A = this chain, B = another copy of it.
Amino acid sequence: MTNPVLAALGRPFRLGIIGGAPPSMIGPVHRLAAIMDQRFELVAGVLSSRPERSRAEAVAAGLPEARCYGSIEELIAKECARDDGVEALAIITPNDSHAPYLNLALAAALDVMIEKPLCNDLREAETLREAAASSGCAVVVTHTYSGYPMVREMRARYLAGDIGTVRLVQIEYLAGGLATAVELGPDGDQRWRLKPERSGPSLVLGDIGTHAHHLVSFVTGQPFESVSADVGTIVPGRKVHDVAQVRFRLAGGARGHLEVSNAAAGMSNHIRLRVYGENGHMEWLHRKHNELAIASLSGEVRIIASGQPMLTPDAQHSSRLMRPGHPEGLQEAVANLYCGLADMMLVRRGHPTSGAPRLVPTIDDGVAGLAFVMACLESSARDGALVRLDR
């Protein structure tokens, strides 16, 4: 992959990061993903909501000491005063802070990478979308899995008509991290996800349901038309949702089922997407993320893999190790989203991009995710009644 940012600016974009102190897993992932392809240089940060800790962790993470700040407000104030201040922010803080932090960033005219869910409320999401539109800023929502090359291949092939029109979709995202009552454990009170006021109206839907929802629309190009959902809790005594089962229809009429749980004992971040068309189906499995299986009507299954020569440009431009059998991972998938953010930032500044299609999830996808969450909750509250999603 050539580097259109270096070509255009002679340097990477300057990025600040909000959140991600230990024991965050995504903190290091974002920091490395941002710099991996030299689209961004990480120059400033606020790693924790506690000012002292924030600065110490930012230093430990290798950020320049003078630009390790105690709060997002401080960061924005001081960076905006610099000639070489940050041009973009990565917001990877707990869900309930997404909306206020994003508003601050947009007000400062900064482009943004923001973790999903966009926020905890649909009206707020719509307001954020308006703010983003007014600002002209680029906003990418970190729907990591759409950054995998073979998910992009699946999309490209679906849109090219390889299996005909979609008739049925199955998506499942099953994790086991909450299969026991960890909230009652020794460090349970430090887990913000298990506090409803922080993680939002539905932990499982916000945390992984929005990923699943996005994957379906990303690959098929179709929004959700309606849902019938049962959302609840399978671990006794838990105060947040840990399971959701959602039947849905896509705009084109296809049926689908989405099933997510983070309390599925023994599952390890398992994601599987199957899209059935008139002439066959395609399957992508996170555990084999470098592969895509394509079945024909006869039942023959073709397995193609990252790095192979027959892939579409969307997949080829999303791989760094361009030889089959050299595995990439989650880190590179996130890096692909940062490349997309950089492309959007170049466009905004009037520069040419690498020419790769813009495949990244935007604030529109973030709003659609919230709308999906809210529709599921409404349906579930009404015993699974059909709820249509406005569009």
Q: Is the CB–CB distance between A265 and B243 below 8 Å?
A: no
CA distance A6 to B180 in the complex (A): 37
The CA-CA distance from A29 to B327 in the complex, in Å, is: 12
Residue of B nearest to A286 (CB): B325
Chain A interface main SS type: loop
Among B38, B304, B331, which residue has its beta carbon within 8 angstroms of that of A328?
A: B331
Complex: chain B residue closest to A36, CB-CB: B32
User: Are A295 and B321 interface neighbours, CB within 8 A?
Assistant: no
Residues of chain B within 8 A (CB-CB) of A172 are 170
Closest B residue by C-beta to A379: B384
Task: Determine if B269 and A323 form an interchain contact, defined as CB atoms under 8 angstroms apart.
Answer: yes
Q: Is the CB of A168 within 8 A of B276?
A: no
The contact size tier of chain A is 35 or more
Determine the chain B residues whose CB is within 8 A of the CB of A168 once the complex forms.
234, 243, 261, 263-264
Query: How far apart are A207's CB and chain B's nearest CB, in angstroms?
Result: 13
- Report A1-40 residues with CB < 8 Å from chain B CB: 3, 6, 25, 28-29, 32, 36, 38
Most buried by B among A168, A278, A328, A330: A168
Copies per assembly: 4
A257 contacts B by Cβ under 8 Å:
yes
Partner of A167, one of B38, B263, B278: B263
CB within 8 Å of B: which residues of A?
3, 6, 25, 28-29, 32, 36, 38, 60, 62, 163, 167-168, 170, 172, 175-177, 179-180, 228, 230, 232, 234-235, 243, 245, 247, 254-255, 257, 259, 261, 263-270, 276-281, 286-287, 289, 295-305, 307-310, 320-332, 383-386
Identify 10 new A-B residue pairs, CB closer than 8 A, beyond the known A267-B299, A298-B308: A168-B234, A168-B264, A265-B276, A266-B276, A266-B281, A286-B327, A321-B331, A329-B329, A329-B332, A383-B386
